């Protein structure tokens, strides 16, 4: 078998002209190393952009047996019912997740027709990635071991039930996978927690439920 080696073309400036130079033959092992380098460069992604839900293209799952995506939240979980938190389940977390964060908020306060602020209902962080969800009406002592709580916009820890004054509001249940275990932030509000999370989010998912009184 005869191996034909294609010449490498190199363009170099010569005064006001350019000329094509053919480099001298190189040992096979150097050509092989060069070829591997070029293949590596060509295969490299053009940017470091990640999937909106999770790095690596895999999508985190977040769901509830109480309501479906964009579905109505049953009265039981609101101020018109028993004021208890809905059951939540998640899966397909990034392999290197170190902790999870759950934030529940309502961007339609006080009136969906003229929203003025986002009202925070629930803040949890340092949920262990080994946990697969939260039971219905979860109490502090029932939270996965290591989970810490932040304060909602009632300035309290724990779940704050939907109680919209007017119109149908949306309630975003947002789960984040982080690459770190956060320090004890001493019952942070949402803004403080989000600042601590910055740069550590591996993936996230949202489950939106609605409620109107």
Sketch out the chain's domains with CATH numbers: 55-211 (3.90.280.10)
Q: What is the mean pLDDT of the chain?
A: 83
> pTM of the predicted model, to two decimals?
0.74
Q: Is the pLDDT of residue 21 over 60?
A: no
Please give the pLDDT value at position 34: 39
Q: Is the pLDDT of residue 10 over 90?
A: no
Residue that the structure tokens 């600042």 belong to: 195
Write the pLDDT tens digit of every residue in 118-150. 999 999 999 999 999 999 999 999 999 999 999
Give mean pLDDT, residues 108-116: 97
Please give the pLDDT value at position 112: 97
The bridge status of strand 201-211 relative to strand 71-72 is parallel
Alpha-helical runs (H) found in the chain:
28-43, 190-197
Please give the pLDDT value at position 38: 39
Contacts of 137 (CB under 8 A, 6+ apart): 82, 84, 85
Give mean pLDDT, residues 77-93: 98
| Per-residue burial over 125-141, b = 16 or more CB atoms within 10 Å of its CB, e = otherwise | bbbebeeebbeeebeee
| Per-residue burial over 68-106, b = 16 or more CB atoms within 10 Å of its CB, e = otherwise | eeeeebeeebbeeeeeebbbbebeebbeebbbbbbbbbb
Contacts of 161 (CB under 8 A, 6+ apart): 77, 78, 79, 81, 83, 84, 121
Residue 211 or 20, more confident: 211
Q: At 99, give phi and psi (nearest 5°).
A: -165, 165
Measured in residues, the chain has a length of: 213
Q: At 38, give phi and psi (nearest 5°).
A: -65, -40
Q: Band the pLDDT of 1: cuts 50, 70, 90.
A: very low
Q: Is the pLDDT of residue 42 over 90?
A: no
């Amino acid at each position: 078998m005869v191996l034909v080696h294609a010449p490498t073309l190199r363009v170099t400036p010569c005064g006001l002209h350019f000329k094509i130079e053919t480099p001298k033959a190189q040992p096979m092992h150097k050509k092989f190393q060069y070829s591997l380098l070029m293949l590596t460069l060509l295969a490299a992604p053009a940017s470091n952009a990640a999937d909106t839900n999770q790095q690596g293209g895999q999508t985190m799952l977040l769901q509830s047996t109480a309501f479906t995506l964009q579905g109505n939240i049953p009265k039981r979980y609101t101020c018109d019912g028993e004021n208890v938190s809905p059951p939540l389940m998640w899966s397909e977390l990034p392999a290197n997740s170190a902790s999870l964060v759950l934030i529940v908020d309502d961007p339609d306060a006080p009136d969906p027709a003229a929203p003025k602020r986002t009202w925070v209902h629930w803040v949890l962080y340092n949920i262990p990635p080994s946990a697969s969800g939260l039971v219905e009406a979860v109490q502090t002592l029932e939270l996965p071991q290591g989970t810490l709580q932040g304060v909602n916009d009632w300035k309290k820890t724990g779940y704050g039930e939907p109680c919209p004054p007017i119109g149908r509001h949306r309630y975003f249940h947002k789960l984040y996978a982080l690459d770190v275990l956060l320090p004890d932030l001493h019952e942070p509000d949402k803004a403080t927690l989000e600042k601590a999370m910055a740069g550590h989010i591996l993936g996230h998912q949202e489950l939106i439920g609605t409620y109107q009184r």
